[in-house]
Amino acid sequence: MEGPKSKFLKVKCADCGNIQTIFDRTNLKISCSVCGATMALPMGGKSDIKGEIVGRVDTDLE
Ligand SMILES: [Zn+2]
């Protein structure tokens, strides 16, 4: 089974302040759902977070 490697990050959009949950590994560009600004870019299988990380969400927790 997978270990506790993957996690979700709460990232605040630098442009509009929207807080969005982003997977810390992605192959896709993540855009803000409110204003469309880039919030994360794929970087070698991980996410290059462009906004401010304001928290983490452990996948083991609700
Ligand atoms: Zn935004």
What is the structure's pLDDT at 51? Answer: 93
Within-domain flag for 62 = no
Q: In terms of residue numbers, what domain contains 24? A: 8-57
Within-domain flag for 39 = yes
How many distinct structural domains can be found in the chain? 1
Within-domain flag for 47 = yes
- Whole-angstrom distance, CA of residue 62 vs CA of residue 6: 15
Within-domain flag for 2 = no
Query: What's the 14 CA to ligand 1 centre distance in angstroms?
Result: 7
Query: What's the 62 CA to ligand 1 centre distance in angstroms?
Result: 25
Cut 0.85: pTM above it: no
The CATH number for 29's domain is 2.20.25.100
Residues in CB range of 10: below 8 A, 6 or more apart: 19, 20, 21, 22, 53, 54, 55, 56, 57
Within-domain flag for 1 = no
Per-residue pLDDT tens over the stretch 3-57: 556 688 999 999 999 999 998 888 889 999 999 999 999 998 888 999 999 998 8
